[in-house]
Amino acid sequence: MTGTATNPQRRLGGLPVAALGLGCMPLSGVYGEADDAASEDLIRYAIDRGATHLDSADMYGWGHNESLVGRAIKGRRDKVVLATKFGQTKPQQQGGANGVSGRPDYVIEACEASLQRLGVDVIDLYYQHRVDPGVPIEDTVGAMARLIEQGKVRHLGLSEASPQTIRRAHAVHPIAAVQTEYSLLYRVEAEETRATTRALGIGFVGYSPLGRGFLTGTIKELAQVDGRRAAHPRFQGDNFTHNRALIARFEALADKKGCTPAQLALAWVLAQGDDVVAIPGTRSKQRLDENLGALAVTLTPDDVDCIAESIPSGAAAGTRYPAGAMKAVYV
């Protein structure tokens, strides 16, 4: 099952998926504590509501997230498109940036570990989470392709890869999807990436389509920012003030459209093309329902343009990640 009448099917290369999926990262303590039982229940609820594209990674809670997802989909494996990622490694020192590995032997090792944690025989979409600049992408993707030959993976993906890297990877083995942060707030690199993915017939997966919560309209004061969000430059000092003013203009459009800011933000992302899907994350059934409500928001071409003009491309203040993590994106 890849979609419902209210959550239509789109394609990532040759892989059919629901247009609006579920990013599972928040279920592993990234934005505050999450209760495992409630999280498993949320995933099952999402599946029942048609959000059948589940996105995990081995570094979300360093294995915790995959184990959680595995428990939640037990007995429902045939109802979901299961995506996970490898390539980020634990930082060498407390508080340091994550490491990265694209070594062929590590690819095989990481996949075996993910399969065990997820409790499945095959992963539908397997991403390289971050490109390893020290290993030719051809070597990494070559190892990923062997996983397909072995029946352990169905489709390959890349995350935060540059257009040049995408082309080189796709020449080794077809890439089904490229995942990049994509929202009204942060879209410069994503739109450059999409020019490449469209040309190659690769699907595009937008993560953090709500700007890490900023575009929901619920974060109005600096005091509301805590947890991992506080480390992101977009939420710091003058950047927060600048970005909050941009979002206030956008919120007025949502009010005029008769939907929530989150719904308008998601509808805008999905309006970019049938090759685009979004994977907003949440810990709340209420928020999940709100997000799925975006599928009922109809936008005209003029609406799409007007929304884009409310937060012009490149207008957001602050980089997408803290300085250390920025070195690992768009490689």
Domain count of the chain? Answer: 1
Say if 79 falls within a structural domain: yes
- Token reading at 29: 């303590």
Contact between 90 and 99 under an 8 Å Cβ cutoff? The reply is: yes
- Nearest-CA neighbor of 7 among 293, 203, 269, 271? 293
Q: Which domain holds residue 87?
A: 9-211+268-298
Contact between 62 and 98 under an 8 Å Cβ cutoff? The reply is: no
Say if 307 falls within a structural domain: no
* Residues that are catalytic: 60
Say if 324 falls within a structural domain: no
Give residue-wise pLDDT tens across range 262-312. 999 999 999 999 999 999 999 999 999 999 999 999 999 999 999 999 999
Say if 311 falls within a structural domain: no
CATH at residue 205: 3.20.20.100
Residue ranges, the chain, pLDDT below 50: 1-3, 5
- Which pTM was predicted? 0.96
Say if 99 falls within a structural domain: yes
Residue 266's CB: how many other CB atoms inside 10 A? 28
Say if 36 falls within a structural domain: yes
Between CA 204 and CA 134 the distance in angstroms is 25
Contact between 327 and 320 under an 8 Å Cβ cutoff? The reply is: no
Say if 286 falls within a structural domain: yes
In the prediction, which pLDDT does 97 show?
A: 86
- Which DSSP symbol is given to 316? S
Question: How does 98-125 read in b/e, with b if 16+ C-beta sit within 10 Å?
Answer: bebbbbeebbbebbeebbebbebebbbb
